[in-house]
Homo-oligomer: A and B are copies of this chain.
Amino acid sequence: MGQSDTKEKILDTAEKLFAKKGFHSTSLRLITKEAGVNLAAVNYHFGSKESLLEAVFERRLNPLNSIRRKRLKEIRDNAGKTGTLPSVEDVLRAVIEPTLKFKASGKGAENFIALVGRSMVEPNETVLRIFQNRIRPLFLLCFEILCEALPNMPKETIFLKTHFSVGAMSHIMCERGKMEVLPDGINPVQDMDNVIDLLVRFVTAGMESK
């Protein structure tokens, strides 16, 4: 262990529990017990519970946002070079695909995606502020390019529809799309590529609808 794996153990466990139970309902005692570290370690390494949450976001959201921003800018640049409008589907896929594929990117990433989905509708002001500060720039960039892709649609309409899309995506991200049982032998398990394609086509059709 280079320095100490205590910080990593705390981050992994906090990520999992915040995603599963929410920020407020997850105590530091539960996190540290499950991580096998001392209670005081959180305040020693991170300063506070709030700062721990920030660190959880920081660790994964920075790389993920880089990918999404890069793909969005590529689309915009490409449209600029060819003198064509960006494709609505390309824009939406540039956000959705890396986000949902991130789930399969490594241990714990799945927990993180659920946490992000949950944070999008989080009532707690602390969580909301921390999260929105890190996500708003990307949301606005996406919104701007959608406006370029749909020059004849009122921006207020595009704004609302972007939020519809965010809602659809975040709902799937939290995996609350279960509602437990399904009747007559429906198998809700679908591979992620299928879910991604369905979601992209769903929000694209919605975004382009009259």
A residues neighboring B (CB under 8 Å): 19-22, 24-25, 117-118, 120-125, 128, 132, 136, 139-140, 144, 155-157, 159-161, 163-172, 174, 176-177, 179-180, 182-183, 186-188, 190, 195, 198-199, 201-210
Contacts and interface: CB of A to CB of B under 8 A. Distances in A.
B121 A176 contact: yes
B123 A186 contact: no
Nearest to A164: B168
Contact of A123 (B118, B170, B183): B118
Copy number in this complex? 2
A132 B179 contact: yes
A118 B171 CA distance: 11
Nearest to A21: B123
Top 8 A-B pairs, shortest CB-CB distance = A167-B171, A22-B123, A205-B209, A202-B206, A163-B177, A164-B168, A205-B205, A206-B206
Nearest to A128: B176
Contacts of A182: 159
B139 A171 contact: no
A179 B198 CA distance: 26
Contacts of A203: 164, 206
A121 B117 contact: yes
A163 B182 CA distance: 13
B124 A121 contact: no
A172 B161 CA distance: 10
Contacts of A156: 186-188, 190
